[in-house]
Structure 1
Amino acid sequence: MTDSAAGPFSTVPGAPRSDDPALLAFLAADLAALDYTVDGVARLLGGEAHQALGRDQVVPAQLALQGCSEPLATVVRLWLLAEPVAASALADALPATGTEALAWLGLVEPVDGTSPALLRAAVDLRPYGWPAETPGGADTDLWVASDLGAHQRPGVLRHDHVLGIGQASLTLAQATIRKGVGRALDLGTGCGIQLFHLLHHAGSVVATDISVRALAFTRFNLVLNAAALGLAPDDLDPANRDARVSLRLGSLLEPVAGEAFDLVVSNPPFVITPRHRGEDAGDQFTYRDGGLPGDAIVETLVRGLPAVLAPGGIAQMLGNWEVVDGPDAGARAPWTARPAEWVADGVQAWFIQREQLSPGAYAETWLQDASQGRDRKAYADSYADYLLDFASRNVSGVGFGYILLRRPEEPRDRDAAGDMEPFGTSARFEEILHPLEQPVGPHLAAALDREAWLDARGSILGEHLVVAGDVTEERHQKPGAEHPGVILLRQGAGLRRTNLLSTELAGFVSASDGELAVGQLIGALAALLERPDAAFAEGLHSDVRNLVRDGFLLPAG
């Protein structure tokens, strides 16, 4: 990273500049010396105020900082609370950088536009970090620049707003499988959150976005955090064919057509947004609106992403999908109907719906997100546009959740026996509305490993199984009843599923201590329950496979 290798996104109007790596190294040193980290800010504000700040509530933090003159408090007021600060106090807090350099970088500006004595934030610059993601690894502390939010600078957001560390980006980061890979793609990078994580377990990363301002923010964040991210001086040089990072401007998969990746992550602009009356493309919020009707952008990616996956490669993304009712009154369609249409043959797919909203609730969520509730008439018109748009397609709800796609190592034929199909030769759909153990990525990885184990064996009659350590059993029966009416198996970790057991399956689980093979246990239960028919054995074998797939039962040893 030298001035001659600054690249096309180092000096973009309206975004912080990154063409002086030495200056950004001074800024990083100043911020580190202040302990401007997630933990450092939490200690300064106290737990309650810090948690409130994470919900975009600044009042508790303002109260916590009353009368506090510490240098760290000056920086927190400036970039997290977006309050004006004295230039002299800021110069004392960041002595190696200085206020003139901060203004030149595009990080601060005079409050009244002329006088440099009182400065305000031009961007949001906040600490971000995560604990070690691999055994023996170190915690990571970074700083991330993005546009100021509406809670910091009142008013409707600019339409090329660069979103900061939002809940969706954190959700995707926690869901991503963190195995070492060669090439990774961050599609729709925004300010670069997913890219930063990828650099810790990918040999090289391509990051794309349709917004030149977003790529400018990403580049600034990369240069500012070069040391923490392990970036060498030429790793952002567009002329370096071996550079670890490549930033590319373009829509969807256009910038990477013909390439292959081991891992793709994407938090795309999936929000379903109607085209308002009299609106053109320049009026849309690029960070959330894909510019396509309905859920078409998510459909486009689900259909197109397998083309850029290497054999065995995985794509993980977040998305919305419409629940479209049939033409007959009262004909409610399942939420799986539209996503099921998008998955190509030979592609492994897993959809997990985490939430479903009515059209009205969905409209309210995203109108509030863009601070469009301040003008009553504009809000009412926009709300009506949402409802009319959904009604035009017979939409009764909008789902949100995880999407995982995988290109198999080699093509496989479908198995005629449904219970024996390998995972993903047809799409798998789950609705999990309860809280998951976070990060959930390791559990998704374990699920894929179990699928591979099952796929390699077909029949598991000769295998020995044990109950997973987090699994408990619940039995419910009416008072005085001889036998339980309901037997439930619950997971305490991971996806925390609950499974309703039949009597024979409950008996199998109870006896799964690794001593007897699956076939032996099935035979014993068939004799005990006087069910010698083949259908009993085949059905129980299928149910046991499903318990292994979902992590209730595991291979012994």
Structure 2
Amino acid sequence: MIPDLSHDRIDRLREAFEAAGYDADGVVDLLGPAAHGALGRGEPVPALRATADAGALGTLVRLFLLGLTEPRSAVEAALAPLPLAEALDAGLVVPDGDQLRAGLDVRPHGVGDQSWWVVSDLDSELRGGRPVATDHVLGVGHASLSLVRATSRRPVGSVLDLGTGCGVQALHASTHAQRITATDVSKRALALAEATFRLNRVDVELAEGEWFDPVRGRRFDLVVCNPPFVVGPPRTDFVYRDSGLAGDDASALVVRQLPAFLNDGGTGQLLASWVHRDGEDWQDRVSGWLPPGVGVDAWFVQRDVADPELYVGTWLRDAGYDPRSEIGMRKATEWLDWFEANDVIGIGFGFVTLRRTDARGEVVCEDLRHAYDDPLGPESDQWLRRVDWLRAHGSAEALLRARLVTADSTVLEEVSAPGDEGWSPVVHRLHRTDGPGWQHEVDELGVRLLAGFRGALPLGELLELLAVGYGENVEELSAAAIPVVRELIRHGMVVPAEWTGEAR
């Protein structure tokens, strides 16, 4: 059933929210940091106490954020000027005995100075633990927020939000894009996304259809996609997570087709999953998804690898199934049987950045499974910039002529062991203290070389001085150093001197 969320009803709902102060700042101010933090952990009592005697705002928080029932009179007052009868017809609220409860999830979503409202379906927890419907429209979850943080926010002309769901990615795109197109295969998702956009007065072109079908023949500056990437048998239990394709074919499809929908220099950023099999390198697997004959810079970042048992249990609970129930055990058995039959020993998950280029594409696959705080979006921009610089300095001769600087965010850690003559360094490890927090081990000569990266002398001259000082062959030293230096530049631990604005 598609909710009847007409423009008039949504406009009146916005008036009600504005009058009550039901926005990101208003909720935080009402609850306070402690109760707000407890709510985020799934502990409702502190928030319930904070909303006592809070008028319309308290009613809306209890209704939509805590999932509690409220008296009809209180709901009617909180939703005015939207008539209660229309709120019921629209499915925003539903009867529960003599009281009312939320029929849809409508909650503030704030990032920085931005505050929006997002309309989605109630998750399993707010549905009393009952499994969600097949056409369930997911709200603002961990995966969608991860993609938000991993997406570049450089100004662009056009954005495609492929598989928009409730519209979270399109909302964030509105801060830096002139035109936004959002697609989805689900009519229900498009209806809730349209309500989200109308509620926030964000202009988005909506189109219905599978994958890239609604935008055939068009190109965009940026494509973002949080696809139904769950890996498993070819079925569609839930539209928001299951593609109907087997294994990791959904992720492969998006990676393979996306570059054709990019303008020259345009980028695509998505979440993806891939299987791990005995004897197969995951890096070879995902790089093999890229379209042949098309110039694409590709950065595959693996954030996690889950074993099949943990993976199945996690997704069963996500949908509201008790793994101990009859249906939960049956689905888990089918899922694990499929993994076993297809030699799946793990499921990788991560971010993919793609850029269309006329040059020969650079493809890098790497693990990034340690914790870090900074968003990956700015790093993806800088990664592409560094790819361009390394491509322009592709020959050894060009790199040897370059002047380099050790980044301010790069620090050196040394681990020493006791010996007959005191402490002796056994490990030299470089740490990048911002962004993804890369680490690299280097030898003693590498430490000395980086100490000379002050932008004054080209790399070749520094290597010549180092070779003389340590009695090394300069050609052999250069051949060993160049791949290491390229990797340090790619990870932003060493930068071209011209980027710093001054030599040091």
TM-score normalised by length of structure 2:
0.93
Instruction: Report 1:168-183 matches (<5 A).
Output: 168-183=143-158
Q: Which amino acid aligns with 2:481?
A: L
CA distance in 2, matches of 1:16, 1:198: 26
What's the counterpart of residue 225 of structure 2? 266
Comparing 528-537 and 121-130, the one that deviates more: 528-537
Task: Confirm or deny: 8 A CA contact 1:209 1:249 kept in the other structure.
Answer: yes
- Percentage identity across aligned positions? 39
The 1:198/1:430 distance shift into structure 2, 3 A limit, reads same
Q: 1:329 maps to what in 2?
A: none
Q: 1:141 maps to what in 2?
A: 115
Match of 1:378 among 308, 327, 336: 327
- Tell me the CA shift for residue 55 of structure 1: 4.2
Please, which runs of 5 or more residues in structure 1 have no aligned partner? 1-12, 132-138, 232-244, 276-280, 327-332, 413-423
Residues 479-513 of structure 1: CA distance to partner in whole angstroms, max 9, x if unpaired? 23564111000011101011111222111111222
Q: Is the 8 A contact 2:181 2:207 kept in 1?
A: yes
2:238 maps to what in 1? 285
The change in CA–CA distance for 1:68 and 1:98 in structure 2 (over 3 A counts) is same
Change beyond 3 A, Cα 1:85–1:374:
farther
Q: Distance between the aligned counterparts of 1:435 and 1:29, measured in 2? A: 41
Equivalent AA in structure 2 for residue 257 of structure 1:
R
Give yes or no for the alignment of 1:491 onto 2:432.
Answer: yes
Q: Is the 8 A contact 1:107 1:122 kept in 2?
A: yes
Would the alpha carbon gap of residues 541 and 375 (structure 1) be closer, same or farther in structure 2, given more than 3 Å must change? Answer: closer
- Residue 14 of structure 1 pairs with residue 2 of structure 2: yes
* Counterpart-to-counterpart distance in 2, 1:439 and 1:395: 31
Q: Who is 1:135 aligned against?
A: none
Report the CA distance between 1:110 and its aligned residue: 2.3
Alignment of 1:232-247 (within 5 A): 245-247=204-206
| 1:79 positional shift | 0.9
Q: Which residue of 2 aligns with 1:3?
A: none
Q: What residue ranges of structure 2 are gaps of 5+ in the alignment? A: none
Which position in structure 2 is the counterpart of 1:43? 29
Task: Give 2:350's match in structure 1, choosing from 392, 401, 410.
Answer: 401
Deviation at 1:453? 1.8
Q: C-alpha offsets along residues 447-490 of structure 1, whole Å, 9 cap, x if unaligned?
A: 21122122223322232222212211101110235641110000
Question: Which of 124, 127, 134 is the matching residue for 1:150?
Answer: 124
Structure 1 residue 254, shift from structure 2 partner: 1.3
* Native 8 Å contact 2:105 2:119 kept in 1: yes
**Does 2:442 correspond to 1:501?**
yes
- Name the Cα RMSD after superposition: 1.9
Partner of residue 359, structure 2? 411
Measured after TM superposition, the shift of residue 152 of structure 1 is 0.7
Partner residue of 2:266?
Answer: 313
- In the alignment, what sits opposite 1:545? 486
Question: Counterpart of 1:526 in 2: which secondary structure?
Answer: helix
- Residue type of the partner of 2:347? V
Query: 1:322–1:398: 8 Å Cα contact kept in structure 2?
Result: yes
Q: Give the match for residue 421 of structure 1.
A: none
Structure 1 residue 33: deviation in Å? Answer: 2.8
In structure 2, which of residues 367, 387, 390 is the aligned counterpart of residue 431 of structure 1? 367
Distance in 2 between the 1:273 and 1:50 partners?
A: 36
Change (3 A) 1:334 1:301: same
Give the letter aligned to residue 116 of structure 2: L
Please say which of residues 94-103 and 291-300 is displaced more in the overlay. Answer: 94-103
- Residue in structure 1 matching 2:102, options 111, 117, 121: 121
Counterpart Cα distance in 1 of 2:118 and 2:71 = 23
The corresponding residue for 1:85 is: 70
Alignment of 1:464 with 2:403, yes or no, is yes
User: 2:282 is matched with which residue?
Assistant: 335
**Larger strand proportion of the pair:** 2
Alignment of 1:93-104 (within 5 A): 93-104=78-89
Determine helix, strand or coil for the equivalent of 2:384. Answer: helix
Determine the C-alpha separation between the residues in 1 that align with 2:340 and 2:392. Answer: 47
Q: Secondary structure at the match of 2:430?
A: strand
Q: CA deviation at 1:375?
A: 6.1
Aligned pair 1:366/2:354, yes or no? no
Comparing 539-548 with 441-450, greater Cα deviation is found at 539-548
Equivalent residue letter for 1:120: R
C-alpha separation in 1, matches of 2:441 and 2:320: 44
In the alignment, the residues of structure 2 paired with residue 223 and residue 348 of structure 1 have an alpha-carbon distance, to the nearest angstrom, of 36
Alignment partner of 1:62 is 2:48: yes
Write out per-residue CA displacement over residues 273-332 of structure 1, whole angstroms, 9 at most, x where no aligned residue: 335xxxxx6x61000001101111111111111111111111110011000124xxxxxx
Please, which of 324, 329, 337 is the counterpart of residue 277 of structure 2?
324
Contact 1:18 1:223 (C-alpha < 8 Å) held by counterparts: no
**Residues 16 and 217 in structure 1, CA contact (< 8 A), matched pair in contact too:** no
1:44-67 deviation line (CA, Å, top 9, x unaligned): 2232332343344434433544x4
For residues 464 and 192 of structure 1, the distance between their equivalents in structure 2, rounded to whole angstroms, comes to 45
Change (3 A) 1:447 1:177: same
Aligned to 1:448: 384
User: In proportion to residue count, which structure has more helix?
Assistant: 2
CA positional deviation for 1:428:
0.7
How far apart in 2 are the matches of 1:529 and 1:170?
50
Distance 1:93 1:393 in 2: 54
Q: Deviations over 1:415-443 (max 9, x none)?
A: xxxxxxxxx43x21111111223322112
Name which of 187, 207, 226 aligns with 1:248: 207
Question: Counterpart of 2:345 in 1: which secondary structure?
Answer: strand
Question: Residue 254 of structure 2 aligns with which residue?
Answer: 301
User: Structure 2 CA distance, aligned partners of 1:80 and 1:160?
Assistant: 22
TM-superposed deviation, 1:105: 3.3
* Conserved 8 A contact 1:186-1:208: yes
Distance 1:93 1:202, change over 3 A: same
Q: How many residues were matched structurally?
A: 490
Structure 2 counterpart of 1:522:
463
> Which amino acid in structure 1 is aligned with residue 313 of structure 2?
E
1:107 paired with 2:110, answer no
